[in-house]
Amino acid sequence: MAEAKEAKAWMDGADELRIEIKAVIDGVDVERELTFFRYKNEADRQLKAWASAPGGREADKRRLKALSIVIFGNEPSIMSDGGKLRFIRRHLEYAMRFKELKDVVERWLTRWSNFEDLGDPRREEGA
């Protein structure tokens, strides 16, 4: 069982979206910060399951999958190395149902969709 206790989001610099989540999953307190970025014009985030987490890496992966369903609507993809979980745009779109996340996530997604035809916005800012 997963229960989200707190969630907040903020933009960090020109192209990163950070989401911090505090939850209780199967009786274990979990606190994670996810940093979404743009990769080939898509929102992307890979999150590594921790071997140092209670119960080890596999237990952490199970808890993160459960948390993903609560916050992001469905499980993340499992990367080929088996230890990383991948979140994409559809996960962020579902997360916007949380009022604590909606405005910032929507603004970040909109900012990037406005730049899709212009190329990398950092070039426009002189970076």
Beta carbons of 87 and 45 less than 8 angstroms apart: yes
One-letter amino acid identity for 47? L
One-letter amino acid identity for 103? D
CA 114 vs. chain centroid, Å, equals: 21
- pLDDT tens digits, 9-32: 999 876 889 999 999 998 999 998
- pLDDT tens digits, 21-68: 999 998 999 998 888 887 776 777 878 888 898 999 889 888 988 888
Three-state SS sequence of 25-77:
ECCEEEEEEEEEEEECCEEEEEEECCCCCCCHHHHHHHHHHHHHHHHHCCCCE
Residue 116: predicted pLDDT? 47
